Amino acid sequence: MTVAASLFPGGVNSPVRAYRAVGGEPPVLVRGAGAFVWDQSGRRYIDYVGAFGPLVLGHAHRAVVEAIEAAAEAGGSFGVTSPGEVRLAELICARMPSVERIRFVNSGTEAAMSALRVARAATVRELVIKFDGGYHGHADSLLVAAGSAAATLSIPDSAGVTRSVAAQTLVANYNDLESVEALLARHSGQVAAVIVEPVAANMGVVAPLPGFLAGLRGLTQSSGALLIFDEVITGFRVAPGGAQELYGVRPDLTVLGKIIGGGLPVGAYGGRADLMDLVAPSGPVYQAGTLSGHPVVMAAGEATLRQLTPEVYASIEHEAARLEAGLRVKGASVARVGSLLTLFFNDRPPRNFREAKASDTAAFARFFHSMLDAGVLLPPSQFEALFVSAAHDRSVIDATIEAIA
Ligand SMILES: *Cc1c(COP(=O)(O)O)cnc(C)c1O
């Protein structure tokens, strides 16, 4: 869109939308319903982008649209706590017991940034360990070795992030406990937190190896650092209680976003009550937001979570497994955790970002475009997950498998 190109840097308001990694111009999408989206000319595509994660029910789910309408009718933001915030928080805390207290914000970026602030305040330590290829939003201290978007554009770190801030972030290898142990030993008594995507989903999908997350729990506990799970993608997607339920590891703090806003802008961080009580006004960690906990967003999130019954998860899992089988093409491998999938042009699923980067991205770009021609819209990068939603029923998955063939 030439007008967009003159208005927005690179024609977009978020970099991966620009199709730089696969070439060509993105379609101009004007409508979505269920598993489908339509472009300006009326052409229909099966959508596996899912707005990059939030749309676990598909586009324009009836219950979500109605909840948004009702909340908008009831007036906007009141500048006081509203019942919708309480209801969504209760749903989240009930399904994710490690989240004893929660604070809503407006993006995953804000949530991750704030969780680090709490960790640093709680431990009175300054360093943070993240993983190569792990993405936690674009806060300065987390834009180090940050996965998909940066990798896609071949920008290892961002310009504009000062060396002194970047130096407070240490980078370990995903699925490599020894790399974490070594950093903790070298910086003994200085590491405030280890932040991790419990299922890495911004280097393509990379599942944690057995014992990796439990190992992180042990290492953080013994070194006095906090364990932060970034469940912005995995939360309420890979299991009713997120990756922490699926793998049975309880973090100190959890970062949320995407699904809990039902497709509207949202983030949240929460965890142990004693830690969250450090947040203003009950404690000294300042963090605020004019539109945080917006009633319309809360309503969309609540409607989404209420739809996510165990039966819905079971059916998404079933269809995602069928898609996984259908995706097994020659010279490629499929990584899948629940409804998150990546087709890597690699002979086996990677265990870390270095292995993910060995994937043949030119082959991915060719696959992407042939699928697009066949009416299937994939995320435009080897390093972004495919998102299967509850609207991707048997017939949609069958049609996708046919397109692959
Ligand atoms: C998307 C994402 C974020 C950032 O959320 P925004 O709402 O885009 O700021 C943080 N962490 C993970 C794991 C994400 O996938």
Looking at residue 156, its pLDDT comes to: 46
pLDDT > 70: what percent of the chain? 97
For the chain, the average pLDDT equals: 95
Q: Which atom of ligand 1 is nearest to the CA of 137?
A: 4
Tens of pLDDT, residues 158-215: 888 888 888 899 999 999 999 999 999 999 999 999 999 999 999 999 999 999 999 9
Q: Is the CB of 292 under 6 A from ligand 1?
A: no
Q: Is the CB of 231 under 6 A from ligand 1?
A: no
Phi and psi of 44, rounded to 5°?
-100, 140
The position carrying tokens 């299937």 is 376
Tens of pLDDT, residues 282-291: 999 999 999 9
Tens of pLDDT, residues 108-167: 999 999 999 999 999 999 999 999 999 999 999 898 877 655 444 434 468 888 888 888
DSSP at 32:
E
Using alpha carbons, list the distances in angstroms from residue 159 to 20, 366, 393: 19, 31, 43
The full set of domains in the chain, from first to last, is: 1-33 (no CATH), 62-307 (3.40.640.10)
pLDDT > 90: what percent of the chain? 89
* Mean pLDDT, residues 4-28: 93
Specify the residue with its C-alpha closest to ligand 1, atom 10: 136
Residue 80, Cβ density class (10 Å: 0-12 exposed, 13-18 middle, ≥19 buried): exposed
